[in-house]
Amino acid sequence: MAGYLTESEAVSDLIGSTALITGLVRSAEFNGKLCRIEAFDPEVRRYVVSVFVEGGPVPAKLRLDAGPGK
């Protein structure tokens, strides 16, 4: 479809970006923190990120939430 990115294109556009973490339940301490998107793990369909916290970055794997109406 014209005007839409493939999943591969969308993923590559996000790599290297900084994002704000919100909506985590099991690791709620990361909510409100910034992270750098390092890679995408297609096996688990999660982004590999470095969460910026005091003491240095913490690695994590997070899924993108498309928001309301997903």
Q: E-assigned strands of 1-70?
A: 18-20, 34-41, 46-53, 56-62
Domain boundaries, the chain: 7-62
Distance CA 25, CA 68 (A): 17
User: What pLDDT score does 3 carry?
Assistant: 60
Q: Which residues does 13 contact at the CB level (< 8 Å), separation at least 6?
A: 5
What predicted TM-score, i.e. pTM, was given to this entire model? Answer: 0.78
Classify domain 7-62 by CATH number: 2.30.30
What is the model's pLDDT at position 1?
Answer: 45
pLDDT value of position 65: 78
Instruction: Tell me the HSE value of 4 on the side-chain side, using a 13 A CA sphere.
Output: 3
Residue 44 is encoded by which pair of tokens? 């688990």
Per-residue pLDDT tens digits of the chain, which is 70 residues long? 456 546 676 678 889 999 999 999 999 999 999 999 999 988 888 999 999 999 999 999 998 876 555 4
